[in-house]
Amino acid sequence: MNKIWLIIKREYLTRVRNRTFILSTFLTPLFFAALIGIIVFITIKNTDKEKVAIIDNSGVFKKETDSVKSIKLVLNPVPVADTNTYEKNGYSAILYAPHNGLNNTDKWRLYSRKSFAVTAVSSIEEKIRKGLENNMLMERYQVNSNNIDSVREASRKIELEEKRIGAGAHSQDGNSMVAYIVGYGAGFLIYITLFIYGAMVMRGVMEEKTNRIAEVIISSVKPFQLMMGKIIGIGAVGLTQFLMWIILITVFSSIIGAIIPHELLEQVNEANKSIPGGQMNMQANEALTGLAQATTKQLASVNWFLVVSCFLFYFFFGYLFYAALFAAVGSSVNEDPQDAQSLMFPITMPIILAIVIMINAITHPDSSLATWSSIIPFFSPIVMMARIPFGVPGTVPYWQLGLSMLLLILGFLATTWVSAKIYRTGILLYGKKATWKEMWKWAFRNS
Amino acid sequence: MPLLEVRHLKKYYATQKAVDDISFSIDPGTIFGLLGPNGAGKTTLLRMITGIFFPDEGEIFFDGKKFQPAEDALRIGYMPEERGLYKKMKIGEQAMYLAQLKGLSKRDAYKKIKTWFTKFEMQTWWNKKIEDLSKGMGQKLQFVITVLHEPKLIILDEPFSGLDPVNSNLIKEEIYKLAKSGCTIIFSTHRMEQVEEICDQIILVNKGQKILDGTVAGIKQQFKENLFHVGLNSSPPVTMSNAFDITDREDNGLVVKIKDGYNTNDVLQHFIQQEVGIKEFHEILPSLNDIFIKLVEGTAVTRQFQTVA
């Protein structure tokens, strides 16, 4: 036991003190912060300076249109601007209203020297639409402008509150959006972890084998101890890195939140929404603002204690489950990284499959595909984490959770047992890489 | 009582009888040479003695008791032929780590490393990394790490490869000192001149089997061909004799092979009678190299794969 501890300590310390580890731990959150910053900056920069003069001779707009920071609309400016003079007066564009009043389907014409950003155009359209709406309501139906505002205000407040009928007597507050975000995030995090740290285990084993230090160490400790020490040590490195990221991201985002006004963030979101190609961006942004906008009540709809403890469980055992397999592969190859690639393939397949299933399961957490793959150990760490935020025992009955956890632990014991046997032989065998047949024999022969 | 006794050790791989029924014993304080051509099964044999492999058959007794890999491994220092250390780890930390894996406490490990580093003039290495060392320096470090925990049995697989004569001597001296202080040393090599110089006892393995076992002097006696070198002042008139054949002529001397039934005095008498001055007369013993080649020659140079029934 003492020796395993020594090995864990070495694996942990040499990695944590490594310059690349320190850099990646601190730079990754900074990178994300910078990325968000750049997006915000670019969006603002692109729309901020636009000042548009509106020439509205037939009086479509009755009152001054409300301007937001990004675009300033000036109705019938004095001195009168036209297509020749607007630039001199500091406008970047000039907008002509159709001559024949409201019912005319003539196009509104926007003149400018440069082509406008899509966001700016859609923003202007939005303003016009709103201005016209207000106008029509006031003109035709004699609605007081204050009333319009209060109706708008009221409609904006509407939100959908989901109630889930649980197994218990009382209904449970639910919020699909929050569950979706949390589930997606957790599943993805585990997916990344398996890859990064699984590969790290494999490289570590390969290093020991090609350096021939394995033989020195194995003359003082059992191969199993060396393997487990490495796996646990690297697991601890992963945990450390994640904790650091969580702390740093929290700090950075609160700093960003403090610096950048909320209004601006929403504006960025608005802008993103109107970009046709910005689907991916929008999804991420929606998730962010979704989280930001979710009321404390909605956030409370997720059983955080359960989610976090399940996350730790699936992170830990999912990592152990796969790390042992990665170690076995590492012990079976030699210097050639290409060999590692081909032997790694059968291990990375189920992980990639799991993330595909997860993306499906997050939209249908009750489907039989989601249910079964969240029980099978090869997929459960990723798929189950996507389902859990939707509610236990609502979406995930206790028996499913229990069975999934039990099978994962049994699976981890099985992969470790098999891997240890392959590892024991492979680590001391030089020359060609092992074939599947040989590895099978190492794992299941009686000795 | 021997420190290490090996009885009928066998280890078969899928395509090779790597070690096929080998027995020997080593007394405490002996420097023991394990010789054999490439692929003879030396490494497999050593791995079984260090507890890395389990033998298929046979028994190993260490210090009078049956060998218990988990405990006894701590009293063995093993320096494998293909050696390596963590490239990116500081040398001091690496030595500390490996010493602690051998069961030393942190304080003991530190004290011993300091002593050895001073002895080998390696004090400035502590914060360097392995990648900064030359091959010979790495070798020295590896030797220190092997003997650091004061094992009773030290196994050195080709310890001098890559060392310059100065450092070779340094390590040779340490090996003698360790043997004198009661350590038993198994020394695996195919450099015969080193074996003749250092080893008390040797075994020769080939194709997984032991083909020779004894002291260096004893083996030389066993393989001597009754060859003698006779240094003469002048050429003798008559060289024909019933007592010997001349196998080689040199400047001022002859190499003679004494025939059965005759002895050295008959040879000397032959020359004295002819009044030829004898400057020197000594026996030519075969070198281990010759014996090695003689025994191993004829068997295939590289081992062929075979099917194990």
**Record: contact A211-B80, CB cut-off 8 A:** no
A116 CB-near residues (< 8 Å, 6+ apart): A50, A93, A110, A124
The structure tokens listed for A54 are 């509106």
Burial class (CB in 10 A: 0-12, 13-18, 19+), B55: buried
Residue A10 has its nearest CB partner, among B47, B82, B97, at B97
**Chain A environment of B89 (Cβ under 8 Å):** 10, 14
What is the CATH T-level fold of the domain B225-284, as seen in this structure?
Alpha-Beta Plaits (3.30.70)
Give the three-class secondary structure for B265: helix
Minimal-distance CA residue of chain A relative to B145: A216
Q: Does A20 touch chain B (CB under 8 A)?
A: no
Amino acid identity, residue A178?
V
Q: What DSSP character marks residue B90?
A: B
Sequence spans of domains, chain B: 4-221, 225-284
The structure tokens listed for B170 are 């340094």
Please answer whether residues B12 and B308 qualify as being in contact, where contact means their C-beta atoms are separated by less than 8 angstroms.
yes
Q: Which pLDDT does position A172 carry in this prediction?
A: 46
Please answer whether residues A415 and A324 qualify as being in contact, where contact means their C-beta atoms are separated by less than 8 angstroms.
yes
Chain B stretch 250-289, residues whose beta carbon is closer than 8 A to a beta carbon of chain A: none
Characterize the bridge pairing of strands A109-111 and B227-232.
unpaired
Q: How does pLDDT run across B247-264, given as a tens digit for each residue?
A: 888 777 888 888 888 888
Q: Which pLDDT does position A239 carry in this prediction?
A: 84
Question: Among A176-180, B6-10, B153-157, which is the least confidently predicted range?
Answer: A176-180
For B21-50, what is the mean pLDDT?
A: 88
Please answer whether residues B245 and B256 qualify as being in contact, where contact means their C-beta atoms are separated by less than 8 angstroms.
yes
Give the three-class secondary structure for A342: helix
A4 CB-near residues (< 8 Å, 6+ apart): A221, A225, A228, A229, A232
Q: Which domains does chain A have, with CATH numbers?
A: 2-41+172-444 (no CATH), 49-143 (3.40.190.10)
The structure tokens listed for B207 are 């194709």
Share of chain B above pLDDT 90, in %: 13
Q: Which pLDDT does position A295 carry in this prediction?
A: 47
Picking from A156, A185, A206, the residue whose alpha carbon sits closest to that of residue A386 is A185
Output the DSSP codes for A188-232.
HHHHHHHHHHHHHHHHHHHHHHHHTHHHHHHTTS-HHHHHHHHHH
Q: Is the pLDDT of residue A85 over 60?
A: yes
- Tokens 């054949």 belong to B245
**Record: contact B101-A14, CB cut-off 8 A:** no
Q: How does pLDDT run across A316-361, given as a tens digit for each residue?
A: 899 999 999 999 888 888 767 777 788 888 888 999 999 999 888 8
The rounded distance, in Å, linking the Cα atoms of B225 and B228 is 9
Amino acid identity, residue B135?
K
What is the CATH T-level fold of the domain B4-221, as seen in this structure?
Rossmann fold (3.40.50)
Q: Which pLDDT does position B111 carry in this prediction?
A: 93
**Chain A environment of B88 (Cβ under 8 Å):** 14, 18
Q: Does A221 touch chain B (CB under 8 A)?
A: yes
Chain B stretch 11-50, residues whose beta carbon is closer than 8 A to a beta carbon of chain A: 47, 50
What is the band of A167 on the pLDDT scale with cuts at 50, 70, 90? very low
Q: Does A167 touch chain B (CB under 8 A)?
A: no
- Which secondary structure element, helix H or strand E, spans residue A24, and what is its range? helix A19-48
Please answer whether residues B52 and A218 qualify as being in contact, where contact means their C-beta atoms are separated by less than 8 angstroms.
yes
**Chain B environment of A220 (Cβ under 8 Å):** 73-74, 98, 101-103
Query: Distance (Å) from the C-alpha of residue B142 to the closest C-alpha of chain A?
Result: 10
Question: Among A108-122, A239-253, B131-145, which is the least confidently predicted range?
Answer: A108-122
The structure tokens listed for B259 are 């025939």
Residue A212 has its nearest CB partner, among B51, B80, B100, at B80
**Record: contact A215-B88, CB cut-off 8 A:** no
Please answer whether residues A192 and A381 qualify as being in contact, where contact means their C-beta atoms are separated by less than 8 angstroms.
no
**Record: contact B76-A219, CB cut-off 8 A:** yes
**Record: contact B52-A3, CB cut-off 8 A:** no
Q: Which of A8, A13, A213, A425 to mutate to test the interface with B (most CBs of B within 10 A)?
A: A213
**Record: contact A220-B88, CB cut-off 8 A:** no
Q: Could you give the strand order of the β-sheet that contains B253-258, starting from the edge strand earlier in sequence? A: B244-250, B253-258, B227-232, B278-284
**For residue A104, how far is the Cα from the chain centroid?**
46
**Record: contact B73-A219, CB cut-off 8 A:** yes
A321 CB-near residues (< 8 Å, 6+ apart): A377, A381, A408, A411, A412, A415
Q: Does B84 touch chain A (CB under 8 A)?
A: yes
Q: How does pLDDT run across B228-250, given as a tens digit for each residue?
A: 888 888 777 777 777 888 888 87
Q: How does pLDDT run across B122-162, given as a tens digit for each residue?
A: 888 888 888 888 878 888 888 999 998 889 999 998 888 87
**Chain B environment of A18 (Cβ under 8 Å):** 88
**Record: contact A215-B82, CB cut-off 8 A:** yes
Q: Which of B15, B52, B156 to mutate to test the interface with A (most CBs of A within 10 A)?
A: B52
**Record: contact B145-A222, CB cut-off 8 A:** no
For B7-22, what is the mean pLDDT?
A: 85
Q: Which pLDDT does position A411 carry in this prediction?
A: 93
φ, ψ dihedrals at A179, nearest 5°:
-60, -40
Quote the pTM value.
0.72
For A14-24, what is the mean pLDDT?
A: 87
Q: Which pLDDT does position B186 carry in this prediction?
A: 92
Please answer whether residues A194 and A380 qualify as being in contact, where contact means their C-beta atoms are separated by less than 8 angstroms.
no
Fold agreement (B4-221, B225-284): no
- Which secondary structure element, helix H or strand E, spans residue A4, and what is its range? helix A2-16
Q: Does A432 touch chain B (CB under 8 A)?
A: no
Burial class (CB in 10 A: 0-12, 13-18, 19+), A214: buried
